[in-house]
Structure 1
Amino acid sequence: MACTALVGINWGDEGKGRMVDLLAEAFDIVVRFQGGANAGHKIINQYGKFDLHLLPSGVCRPGVVNILGNGVALDLETLVNEIKDQKGIEITPDNLMISERASLLLPWHKEIDVLEEARLKDKHDGSTKQGIAPFYSDKNQKKTILAGELFYPDRLKKHVKELCAWKNLTLEKIYGVKPASEKEVMTWLNEYCEQVKPYIRNTRDYLIKAESDHKRILFEAQLGALRDLDFGIYPFTTSVSTLASYAPIGAGVPGVEVDRVIGVIKAYATCLGDGPFVTEYTGKKGDAFRKMCGEDEPEGGRTVRIGPIDLVASKYGTEVQAATELALTKLDMLSDLDEIPLCVGYKLNGQVITDMPFPSALGDCEPVYETMKGWKCNISTVRNWWDLPEEAKAYVNRIEHAVGCVIRWISVGPERHSIIRRG
């Protein structure tokens, strides 16, 4: 099984980064295939604590080549600063490559993101304000700069002039703000382009050769199935596909077959951003649950929305990702509960349903819960499935049965080694 995709099953924030960091030891290459700096992958290993946004989560593994594919929203400023911030690990063109076909996220993408959210006011879509939606909109209109253009200065300058004239129609006439300056954009590009040029190359050819040489490739996703542009909780989605089926395209090797799909799911539900979230705990109940689960620190300035695991959403996410196996994260966080609720269905128009409804109906859904007995003990040092309390094993088995996919890994702590390998 040479090509594996590791993807999110729910709204994102499932713990994909910690799983890539763990599993990358078995791979030669890790490729981020979509999304941008709106990602937040937290990793803890022997090198320290890392908060990654654009860098692939395999950067802490010696000998692993990390690639930012053509499907990524390449924020040069964030990437340069992120490379500088990683203490204890060396990042060079030998272990980090950028596809020459990746498009650049420019300063006006973030500016327009902020302006549009302000215009929408209480009807906003919950953007991270990292410019993702404006960027992918421009990309689909063929109005972006490719990373490879940094090697063609005359063409780049002409292209910037054309884009400024086009983008200023939006900035001035729609939002009524200062127009973009060609000189300022070129200054911004020149400040960062020389620093990233050594990493840019034809990664398509590199990956095709790697695949033919039977190298092991891990495709890393950002966000989860419920934020997918086509199959998520539209319009509260990201602006690109988050699905495993998009991985070869976003990585730059559309002809490569993904042999294995590892879906990541949390032992409870969290959601960053707006949109329907059926099992959400609010008020004091939500605050208490957040604190118990260690989710009380804001993420990117946003409060983490939280609630019991949603098996309807998780089953749907598992199906659209075509997951062949799952990793369950943060099981240890539920150790203090006497009883653990699980959402096993939705009540909609007086009927109980167990399949994901059309997004417009989610706001009218109420969770249908069953409860399971808690294990009431610390499981953070457990490393063997058979050493887990029976109640914890029963909880894992219930999730596995509901979503219809085997759970191979169970994390019982944030550290790389805090994992139970099952089966």
Structure 2
Amino acid sequence: MLTAVAGLNWGDEGKGKMVDAIGGDAEFVVRYHGGGNAGHTIVVDEGKFSLHNLPSSVFRPGTTSVLGPGMVVDVETFLQEVASVVEHGCDPARVVVSDAASVCFPFHRDLDAAEEVRLGKDGYGSTRMGISPAYGDRVMKKTLLVRELFDDENLERRLTSVLDWANSRLTTIYGAKPLVVAEVHDWVTGLREQLRPHVRDVTTLLGDALARGATVLAEGQLGALKDIYFGIYPFTTSSTCLTAHAPVGMGVPWARLDRVVGVTKAFSSCIGAGPLVTEFDTETGDRLRELWGEFGATTNRPRRLGAFDGVATRYGALMQGTDEVALTNLDQLTGTGELKVCVAYECDGARTTSFTPDPAVLERSTPVYEVLPGWDDDITGARSYDDLPAAARAYVERVESLLETYVRFVSVGAHRDALIDRGPRTRS
């Protein structure tokens, strides 16, 4: 059984909580793209954790957490994160890194930050974690794969080639000091023995697991609107966020997904630049951001907030091939009064319910709202759908009708147990 959990929006949808909540029976949970720019927050009995490299299942004792070959692995921050979770009871033997994943070097972070500085006000809102340069270098065949860190015979030759390419950019474009091969070689040899116990041939590991019928869960990073191909380009990430890519990024390209759970917040949130059609005015956004604690898990940057966007989210649900929706953060809407949901866009004098990822079109678009009644009841203790007040149920059902996809899960709090499961949809 292969299930994927993926975002339907701009990221920050609460995927980490959903992976942790529904992944309890999974033998393997696999990150299939992205890198240390992830910010998946989970609240479990061990505490509250913001995971950046590791899958959100890491505190499930029977689950092996895997970083797939589709990722770019920042070795330094990965090892720091492993040490942190081990202190809270995680078994390090259950954390695995693909030998075919790309290495995200410290100089990739430098390149990322330097480019954002060069772009100035036209920047893309990068997390500056090196993701874009690291993926670009993989495509250019100018970085190392994890397994190459252990190849003493060829390491210095390969590093020299990689650093020649990095230095040509650092010095010529950004006016920075060049990297020294010997220093980077020392960095590799100083870290690789800590990394070695985690490195595996993930294709064989997961291929064998799927062949014997193991339950495997693929964890996506960010959301459909940040996908490099189908997102709001160029305000995207540098990898493929879509579940169609999951088997490839996991290392088992022949596998077929059995189920996709798409995750969306009960409102819109976004970090970084680019159009956000339903964005609140500054006063409302600032007030709700402080009330809800809406700051990025990786950078602590303030999240941009807006009303639920049914147009964009339906597009995300389509792009992800969503079978079931998890609606998160519903509890945050409690006590905020009447609730707007975007049901269409107005653009160039025409009304449409179709979404285009073209930022020029989105910048010209304005939301068409439908107003729903709010509720004041505390819903954080609700554990069945009937526990929700009528107005909250009506909101969920309106989201469901806009997405044309069953909302199975409703999250009403941060802890993994603060979740309503409406059960599989019965069909007449």
Assess same fold via TM > 0.5. yes
Q: Which deviations, in whole Å up to 9, do the C-alpha atoms of 1:257-286 show, x marking residues without a partner?
A: 011110000001100111111111132111
Partner of 1:409, secondary structure, is strand
Which residue does 2:234 correspond to in 1? 235
**Does structure 1 residue 383 correspond to structure 2 residue 383?**
yes
Q: What's 2:150 paired with?
A: 151
Q: Which residue does the alignment assign to 2:422?
A: 422
Contact 1:298–1:304, Cα closer than 8 Å, also in 2: no
Counterpart in the other structure of 1:57: 56
SS in 1 for 2:41: strand
TM score, norm. by length of structure 2: 0.96
The residue number in structure 2 matching 1:135 is 134
- 2:379 partner letter: I
**In the alignment, does 2:349 pair up with 1:350?**
yes
Deviations, residues 122-158 of structure 1 (Å, cap 9, x unaligned): 1111111011111111000111111111221121121
1:19 aligns with 2:3: no
Contact map agreement 1:293 1:334 (CA 8 A) in 2: no
Determine whether 1:215 maps to 2:214: yes
- Corresponding position of 1:75: 74
1:301, CA displacement in angstroms? 3.9
Q: Is the 8 A contact 1:127 1:273 kept in 2?
A: yes
RMSD: 1.2
User: Which residue of structure 2 aligns with residue 333 of structure 1?
Assistant: 332
Q: Aligned pair 1:126/2:99, yes or no?
A: no
Question: More displaced, 291-300 or 51-60?
Answer: 291-300
In 1, Cα distance between the equivalents of 2:125 and 2:385? 39
Letter in 1 for 2:196: K
Partner in structure 2 of residue 89 of structure 1: 89
What is the letter of the counterpart of residue 246 of structure 2? A
Q: Percent identity between the aligned chains?
A: 42
In 2: Cα distance, 1:109 partner to 1:20 partner = 29
Q: CA deviation at 1:345?
A: 1.1
TM-score norm. by structure 1 comes to 0.97
Cα distance in 1 between the residues matched to 2:355 and 2:292:
26
The Cα of 1:331 is off from its aligned counterpart by: 0.4
Residue identity in the other structure for 2:403: V
In the aligned structure 2, how far is the partner of 1:366 from the partner of 1:18?
32
Question: Aligned-pair distance for 1:63?
Answer: 1.0
Cα distance change of structure 1 residues 133 and 297 upon mapping to structure 2, 3 Å threshold = closer
Q: Verify the 8 A CA contact 1:287 1:296 in the aligned structure 2.
A: no
User: Given that residues 150 and 197 in structure 1 are in contact (C-alpha distance below 8 angstroms), is that contact kept between their aligned partners in structure 2?
Assistant: no
Give the C-alpha shift of residue 304 in structure 1.
0.8
Matched residue, 1:171: 170
Q: Which residue of 1 aligns with 2:224?
A: 225
Give the whole-Å Cα distance in 2 for the aligned partners of 1:3 and 1:347.
39
CA contact (8 A) 2:52 2:298 kept: no
Q: State the match for 2:366 in structure 1.
A: 366
Q: CA deviation at 1:382?
A: 0.6
1:193 alignment partner AA: R
Matched to 2:114, the amino acid is L
SS of the equivalent of 2:280 reads coil
Alignment of 1:190-209 (within 5 A): 190-209=189-208
Partner Cα distance (1:356, 1:317) in 2: 9
Counterpart Cα distance in 2 of 1:296 and 1:44 = 16
Alignment: residue pair count: 421
* Structure 1 residue identity aligned to 2:279: E
Output the CA distance in 1 between the equivalents of 2:393 and 2:284. 26
Tell me which amino acid in the other structure corresponds to 1:161. T
- 1:380 is displaced (CA, Å) by 0.5
DSSP 3-state at the match of 1:153: coil
Quickly say closer, same or farther: Cα 1:254–1:273, change in 2 above 3 A.
same
Q: Distance in 2 between matches of 1:101 and 1:133?
A: 18
Q: 2:298, 2:176 → 1: CA distance? A: 29
Instruction: Encode CA deviations 1:361-391: one digit per residue, 9 max, x unaligned.
Output: 1111111111101121100001011121111
Contact 1:55 1:68 in 2 (8 A): yes
2:402 paired residue number? 402
Q: In structure 1, what is the Cα distance between the partners aligned to 2:167 and 2:291? A: 48
- For 2:89 and 2:348, the matched residues in 1 are separated by 54
Q: Detail structure 1 runs of 4+ shifted over 4 Å in the superposition.
A: 296-299
Determine if the alignment matches structure 1 residue 183 to structure 2 residue 151. Answer: no
Which segment is superposed worse, 277-286 or 128-137?
277-286
Q: Is the 8 A contact 1:289 1:307 kept in 2?
A: no
Using the TM superposition, give the Cα deviation of residue 192 of structure 1 relative to its aligned residue in structure 2, in angstroms: 1.6
Q: Are the aligned partners of 1:83 and 1:91 in contact in 2 as well (CA < 8 Å)?
A: no
Q: Are 1:30 and 2:43 counterparts?
A: no
In the aligned structure 1, how far is the partner of 2:249 from the partner of 2:146? 15
Q: Deviations over 1:394-423 (max 9, x none)?
A: 000000000111011101000010011113
Q: Residue type of the partner of 2:377?
A: C
The alignment status of 1:300 with 2:291, answered yes or no, reads no
Are 1:322 and 2:302 an aligned pair?
no
Distance apart, 1:297 and its partner CA:
7.3
Amino acid at match of 2:389: P
Q: Look up the equivalent residue of 1:28 and give its one-letter code.
A: E
Measure how far apart 1:296 and its partner are. 5.6
Report the CA distance between 1:295 and its aligned residue. 1.6
